[in-house]
A = this chain, B = another copy of it.
Amino acid sequence: MKLFRYLPILDWGSRYNRTTLTNDGVAAVIVTIMLIPQSLAYAMLAGLPPEIGLYASILPLIAYAIFGTSRTLAVGPVAVVSLMTLTAASAIAAPGSADFIAAALVLALLSGLFLLLMGILKLGFLANLLSHPVVSGFITASGIIIATSQLKSILGIEASGATMPDLISSIGKTIGTVNIPTLIIGVLATAFLFWVRKGLQPLLVRLGLPSRPAELLAKAGPIIAVAVSTIATIMLGLEAKGVKVVGDIPQSLPPLTVPLMDFDLWQELAIPALLITIIGFVESVSVGQTLAAKRRQRIDPDQELIGLGTANISAAFSGGYPVTGGFARSVVNFDAGAETPAAGAFTAIGIAVAALFLTPLLASLPIATLAATIIVAVLSLVDLKTPRTIWRYSKADFAAMAATIGITLLAGVEPGVIAGVGLSLALFLWRSSRPHAAIVGRVPETEHFRNIKRHKVFTDPRILTIRIDESLTYLNARWLEEFILEQVAEQEEVRHVILMCSAVNTIDASALESLEAINHRLEDGGILLYLSEVKGPVMDRLKRSYFLDELSGKIFLSQNKAFSQLIQTADAEEAAQEPVDRHLARGMI
């Protein structure tokens, strides 16, 4: 059973049959057709030679097919990780240089090792540190940067930069050198691909094709753009007119590469590799979970880390660069009917065949066409609806998202992710340190207790009930002391304080110390402290402390019992005191 857990292939592989084979095969063909131009384009985006995109789409897919748990995730080069690779490796060497390629290999290796380690230590929960608004903001900002960076290839100019200010000033400086044939190809390809996305499927349906095949056929749009623009470039001799093309791609299977064992370099790339790891993992798991749920399957996040880890390590040893599960391709794979990870392995075979035999056909492919592919793909990542929804729902979450977008656009992907994580965390800690609490009273003729500010309720000036709406931890322990003592200071008649703990799920050692302090301070002022509605696990733990021995009052199972009984106690106290008071008033004592 343990082997099954670490090698999911043993599970689905044992039930593999002819139908699954056919379905996986069909899906693989469609994904391969989509992946050929994408892998070239994303390698280019990462500042790497095009064949590296192909190499990153062979062995990593096979590794994921063996170790991954998603049935339909399509692993390989993706836009955001390619941009992050460009940024990280640019700090080491000039894009395209041998040192740059070596740095990309090291990034794949480190990222693979991090993933594997996190998987073995079951640290998948670390991905939680990225909140949805932060991830959404980061992807949107990355999409904008990527689309802008590709404008240079559409315009046929030299420009570079990894942040919006750099990109815009760089494009501004070189805009005078626009190459008109390149611009025409670029604009036509972009327009065609946008139309394919929106208009081709409806057209095919109107022409009589069923909806599903029409949708899949429309996904082949990029390959049509590739073919047409390549033929046009050759026929019209556009290369001589300054249109940049992909050029010669070696015809070979992936080479065996050994990443540099240069530990200074490793140290320099460790943080970027960690960020690539986390962003890649979060993106991949989100896609994987969404698709698995549609077929009532499940993925195992910890095993996913192992699957993606081995994929990246194989990328490092086969001339690739960091990979992860991509959104668009996975959806196509799913829609095309892929049933098992074998579809990924078949895709790998398809790409291997392409790398061996089809690369000569791609030599005259204009780079502007690849840029168009990227622009159309990443603009679908730019999400302008979510910020509006989040603004309405939570200003704090919106602030984290806006900061992530702003910092990513202005300072780049790495500061963007770090700021996003930092801000989410800071907001969370700030909120946790000032929780909600309410003074409650009894709703007449019920046993319910509600906030005195929101409901008409019955209270007694001698009894103060405070409902704490949060677990008590070291972050809010000091707040708790201040809040309770302040409430008591304001209400002089109070003799009994009840803490209603219905929403308290844990009390840590710091909070326990604060409760002890509160108990003693109230006792010094002649006020007794009670708890009500304490949950089972919390009570079990309190029994292991000295708090229950020291508590001046007692613990009530229900708030209603606490309130009713303390009213009687307070009445009895007053009755006992009254004669004395009366004597005092008459000067008799």
- Where the two chains meet, the residues of A that have a C-beta atom closer than 8 Å to any C-beta of B are 125, 127-133, 289-290, 293-294, 296, 298, 301, 389-390, 392-394, 396-398, 424-425, 428-436, 451, 454, 469-471, 473-479, 481-482, 485-486, 489, 502-503, 505-506, 508-510, 512-514, 517, 521, 524-525, 535-537, 541, 544-546
Task: List the B residue with the shortest CB-CB distance to A475.
Answer: B128
**B478 near A127 (CB under 8 angstroms)?**
yes
Task: Known contacts A510-B133, A535-B469, A536-B454; decide if A476 and B390 are in contact (CB<8 Å).
Answer: no
Q: Known interface pairs A125-B430, A536-B454. Does A505 touch B436 (Cβ–Cβ under 8 Å)?
A: yes
Min Cβ gap A449→B in Å is: 12
* Alpha-carbon gap, A398 to B509, bound state (A): 9
Given contacts A128-B475, A428-B432, 16 further A-B pairs with CB under 8 A are A125-B433, A125-B434, A128-B433, A131-B508, A132-B474, A293-B517, A296-B489, A298-B486, A389-B545, A393-B512, A393-B544, A394-B508, A470-B471, A470-B505, A502-B503, A503-B505
The dominant DSSP class at the A interface is helix
Given the complex, which residues of B lie within 8 Å of A435, measured CB to CB? 505
List of B residues within 8 angstroms of A478 by Cβ: 125, 127-128, 301
**A-B residue pairs in contact (CB < 8 Å), sample of 18:** A125-B479, A127-B478, A128-B433, A128-B474, A128-B478, A132-B474, A133-B509, A133-B510, A293-B485, A296-B489, A301-B478, A393-B509, A397-B510, A424-B474, A425-B429, A436-B505, A436-B537, A454-B536
Quick check: B389 and A451 within 8 Å, CB to CB?
no
A293 and B521 within 8 A (CB): yes
Write out the residue numbers on chain B whose beta carbons fall within 8 Å of the beta carbon of A514: 132
By CB atoms of chain B within 10 A, which of A125, A128, A394, A486 has the most? A128
Q: How far is the CA of A389 from the CA of B132 in the complex (A)?
A: 40
Chain B contacts for A294, CB-based, 8 A: 524
Given contacts A525-B296, A536-B451, contact A477 B128 (CB under 8 A): yes
Complex Cα spacing A18 to B390, Å: 61
A499 CB → nearest B CB, Å: 15
- Asked if A289 meets B481 with Cβ closer than 8 Å, knowing A131-B509, A503-B502, A537-B436, the reply is yes
- Nearest chain B CB to A525 CB, angstrom units: 6
Alpha-carbon distance A398/B393, docked complex (angstroms): 39
Question: Cβ of A432: which chain B residues have Cβ within 8 Å of it?
Answer: 428
Using Cβ atoms and an 8 Å threshold, which residues of chain B touch A290? 517
Interface centre among A296, A509, A510 (most CB of B within 10 A): A509
Give complex CA distance A441, B397 in Å: 35
A510 adjacent to B131 (CB under 8 Å)? yes
Given A128-B475, A473-B428, A475-B128: A397 and B509 within 8 A (CB)? yes
Chain B residue, CB-CB nearest to A503:
B503
- A397 contact set on B, CB distance < 8 A: 508-510
Q: Could you say which residues of chain B place their CB within 8 Å of the CB of A479?
A: 125, 128
Q: A433-B125, A435-B505, A505-B436 are in contact. Are A132 and B393 (CB under 8 A)?
A: no
Report the bound CA distance from A512 to B133 in whole Å: 11
Q: Considering the chains assembled together, what is the distance between the CA atoms of A435 and B537 in angstroms?
A: 12
Which residues of chain B come closer than 8 Å to A301, judged between CB atoms? 478, 482
A536's nearest neighbour on chain B, judged by CB, is B454
Q: Is the CB of A502 within 8 A of B505?
A: no
Q: Nearest B residue to A125 by beta-carbon distance?
A: B433
The minimal Cβ–Cβ distance linking A280 to chain B, given in whole angstroms, is 16
Q: Is the CB of B131 within 8 A of A474?
A: yes
A564 to B477 alpha-carbon distance, docked (Å): 39
Contacts of A508 in B (CB 8 A): 131, 394, 396-397
Q: How far is the CB of A144 from chain B (nearest CB, A)?
A: 21
Chain B: minimal CB distance from A127 (Å) = 7
Instruction: Name the residue on B nearest A427 (C-beta).
Output: B508
Considering only CB atoms, which chain B residue lies closest to A300 in the complex? B482
**Chain B residues positioned under 8 Å from A392 (CB to CB):** 544-545
Could you say which residues of chain B place their CB within 8 Å of the CB of A544?
392-393
Q: Cβ of A477 and Cβ of B132 under 8 Å apart? A: yes
Complex contact A393–B545 (CB within 8 A): yes
**C-alpha gap A545/B393 in the complex (Å):** 6
Select one of B298, B389, B503 contacting A546, CB under 8 A.
B389
- Measured in the bound complex, the distance between the Cα atoms of B524 and A288 in whole Å is 17
Docked CA distance A429–B432 (Å): 11
Residues of B within 8 A of A474 (CB): 128, 130-132, 424, 428
A479 CB, nearest partner CB in chain B, Å: 8
B296 touches A394 (CB 8 A): no
Given A477-B128, A502-B503, does the pair A489, B428 have CB atoms closer than 8 Å? no
Q: Which 8 A-B pairs have the closest CB atoms?
A: A131-B474, A397-B509, A132-B510, A469-B505, A503-B503, A131-B510, A293-B521, A125-B433
